[in-house]
Amino acid sequence: KVPYHRRPMLGSEYKQLGVFLETVAFAAAPTFLQEVFEYDRTNLAFRTTVPHGFQSGDRVTWFVLFQNVSGFFVHPVGLEVLVDHSSLDISQWAVSRVFYNGQYYRDMVQLESAYVQGRISVEKVRKAPWDGDFSSMKPRAPVAALFPVQYEPQGPRYSISNNHVLFQAWSFAFGMSASTGLRLFDIRHKGERVAYEISVQEALSVYGSNCPGGMSTRYMDGSFGLGRYTSPLVRGVDCPYLATYVDTHSLSESLRPRKRKASLCIFEQNLGSPLRRHYSNLQSLYYGGLVNSALVVRSIATVGNYDYVWDFIFYQNGAMEGKVQATGYPSSSFLHGDGLRYGNRLWEHTLGTIHTHFVNYKVDLDVGGVKNSLVAHDMAFEMTRAPWSPEQQIERPRLTKKVLDTEDQAAFRLQSKMPRYIYFAANSKNKWGHQRGYRIQITSFAGDHIPEASSMEKAISWARYQLAVTRRKEEEPTSTSIYNQNDPWSPTVTFAEFINNETITNEDLVAWITAGFLHIPHSEDIPNTVTVGNSVGFLLRPYNYYDLDPSIYSHDGVFFTSEQDFTACEINPLACLSKTASCLPNFPPFTYDGFRNM
């Protein structure tokens, strides 16, 4: 049973709160609002904060006010209002506290009185034009030569049937959860299942500030809906122009599902570098290489100010990657007092507030079957005497091996040292006598996790761990819940309780992976944040799973020797590009459905 106060905020409640702010809260301070902000009922926008209070049952929210212009997230005006909307009777809602330019007031009436009496330090914000001025994303340069465009000279090399995808040796099914977003099922390579499920679980941000709204913000974006806020994609920017675009559907706040046109894309991408290569100029003379061409499945969720680019990438060597890139606008507070302890100044009155990003994935691997064990390989230096010269010492690295028998052993804290090779091991062996496996490799630059002494930490306890491997259980399908956001003090799902020292040898296992980065907004985050450097995730790589690299069987391989005619098409397919790739495809007309049915 879930208490009603844990419910996510609906659009109707936000609308009611907007009416309350305008007709009740703001009506109590007409002189202040008019003279300080030139308030006309349209030029201020508010942004919610979460969680709503300090204890279970609270529904008390700080609303931060901004200029209502393009990119308003970086246009704070210095006013924040705390509203108690816990009652189901809207007439009982009330302002609990008001903050303006570093000072707290009992309510809007006290703020108005202090202003009229000249007891307020007013910091007037220059009125921004509708396009936001510095926050406008309109290009500051004219259109010039077109950027490179990718195309498939002989058409797509992948196929899609409903939600099932085939690409070379890969096959999988994709889906979209309204709360957690993009997810994959039944991932197979060369016909053999590698994973039952790979899915996003949560995206978390914890903010710091010297303003109340900023300092109390802990966004758990799954509660808002990573799938629900998946946005229509723009051809040629969000994905390659000739990608395959797929509509997605979600059911929320409605009796009918909502379709988002072209909100998921699938494409093969030449990454512009070799997957592997060698140029031999010793003994025999030859060149051998393979272009790194991979299949990408992508969706982009816009949750408030942030845009998350979610990718699952399939490589020809049997490796698979899960990756998220963060862009969008930074969140901001009004710059005052000791604000520079909590971020950088981005504009005249704008403090880009320090915050963490954590993303959690569920990776249900089935390597060579359902039953797996977790094995760690690493290195250690050992000292030895040179057998041919005993008076000399050699320091040589050697392989260390350990089977991680229990869930406690397989739970690696966020900043702790983790074995560099950690893999799910099958009960079968390859030709060379090694246990077949898939290795988990994490890319992360995470900031620190919120202290465990925090009253709300249990709700996000998955972020304690960079990796935790548990037994797969039907009653533990997700690492969190949409109800954790609004009652993190009594969480509906506590991930830390999944880890209870059960044996994980030869069991059906799930890996829970956390990746993240620390973001200290800086001047180059204006007008908004770039994806470069803000990309984290994980790789799943075959580790003795095959007898040799399966990409050697790719049709894309290139090989020629010094004795061969490397200009001949039958020797080197690259010599034939003038014939096979000389015609540009027909580019479909540009369309976009992102502004319909808002």
Q: What is the set of active-site residues?
A: 221, 306
3-class SS of residue 446: coil
Distance CA 260, CA 593 (A): 8
**What burial letters (b/e) apply to 460-492, b meaning 16+ CB within 10 Å?**
bbbbbbbbbbbebeeebebbbbbbbbbbbbbbb
The dihedral built from the CA positions of residue 553, 559, 564 and 565, taken in this order, carries a sign that is positive
DSSP H or E run through 101: none
Distance CA 9, CA 192 (A): 43
Strands (E), 255-354: 258-280, 286-303, 306-314, 320-328, 332-334, 343-347, 350-353
**What burial letters (b/e) apply to 423-434, b meaning 16+ CB within 10 Å?**
bbbbeeebeeee
Distance CA 453, CA 461 (A): 11
In 10 A of CB 367, how many CB atoms?
A: 27
3-class SS of residue 597: coil
Strands (E), 73-226: 76-84, 94-100, 103-105, 158-161, 164-167, 170-177, 181-189, 192-207, 218-220
Report angle CA 32, 38, 44 to the nearest 5 degrees.
95
Distance CA 271, CA 268 (A): 9
Distance CA 528, CA 331 (A): 10
Report angle CA 229, 230, 233 to the nearest 5 degrees.
135
Name the token pair of 487: 């009652």
**What burial letters (b/e) apply to 212-228, b meaning 16+ CB within 10 Å?**
bbbebbbbbbbbbbbbb
**Residue of 373, 376, 335 whose CA lies nearest to 352:** 335
Q: Is 1 exposed, middle or buried (0-12, 13-18, 19+ CB in 10 A)?
A: exposed
Output the CA–CA distances (angstroms, integers) from residue 438 to 339, 345, 427, 441, in the order listed: 47, 45, 12, 10
Name the token pair of 42: 């349209």
Amino acid at 187: I
Name the token pair of 391: 């008076």
Which residues are registered as beta bridge partners of 440? 540
* Terminal-residue alpha carbon distance, the chain: 34
Amino acid at 110: Q
Distance CA 80, CA 101 (A): 9
**Residue of 535, 424, 536, 416 whose CA lies nearest to 465:** 416
Distance CA 220, CA 481 (A): 9
